[in-house]
Chain A
């Protein structure tokens, strides 16, 4: 039994009872929070897993095109054709609050209005493989940004779930039993004091009566 180091007084007892009530309520709420977070997290992770598999497959595909392009073109020509990019992605970041966890929302926009305007070179001296590579990479881009958003959310949520779980467990297995034990200890101690003072009073009453009426003398 884990009893806190407190004085067994009535005031402490009321205080502890109040604290226990708060702890129990907090425990219930945190448990609800954990369950809901867990549900949303698992949903998100499943989605993220699928998205990642898809993105990785697409990237592999585009890498293949690149390897082919670099086989056909010289390294210098390839580097030179990619040297001055036309596009620039701008990301607007916002945050969304899910069960007290802030998760990011990425909104992407391009510098030029035409999203097809991606080739930073003329077509005359480059291989068509390079065009394929860049087109396929451009096609992954929306998924790539979504993946970043999802994975970051997963990361933040998993950290929050771990924290919440720790809190729930510490309340359930440490704080609440400790309060309950201490409350029991104090009320037992108070009852015991009560009984001992009652017997003492009865004893004193007997002694006083004995003295006043001399019972023990009469019996002899």
Chain B
């Protein structure tokens, strides 16, 4: 079944994504973000959900439910305010989980 792509974040960072065919869900505040994420992740209509770094860090509890599932893939992206390194940290945490210590990002 064909699914779509969504992005959640502050309006400034995400409005451009609507032009290239990604559904945008602007939000402000962590509670709203958490509720939005839960709603659109459970609706099963999205294969990929991008989050801005701020939203990503605010919704750790909600995200954990989808970690083991194939879809949706929940991916952090840097917002308009600059790169905080969340994506890098996330990858490094995977390496740490698998190998026991981070052997890729430590230099």
- Please give the residue numbers on chain A whose beta carbons come within 8 Å of chain B beta carbons, in ascending order: 38, 41-42, 45-46, 48-49, 52, 55-56, 59-60, 62-63, 66-67, 70, 78-79, 82, 85-93, 95, 102-104, 106, 108-111, 118-120, 133-134, 137-138, 141, 144-145, 147-149, 151-152, 154-159, 161-162
Contact = CB atoms under 8 A, between A and B. Distances in A.
Given A60-B83, A85-B19, A141-B21, 11 more contacts: A45-B95, A82-B15, A104-B70, A104-B71, A151-B87, A154-B91, A154-B94, A156-B68, A158-B98, A159-B67, A161-B98
B15 to A, nearest CB: 5
Interface of chain A, helix or strand or loop or mixed? Answer: helix
Nearest to B15: A82
Contacts of B97: 158-159, 161-162
Interface residues of B, number: 40
Contacts, number: 145
Interface string B65-106: 001101101010111100100011011001101110000110
B16 interface: yes
Contacts of A67: 80
A20 B64 CA distance: 37
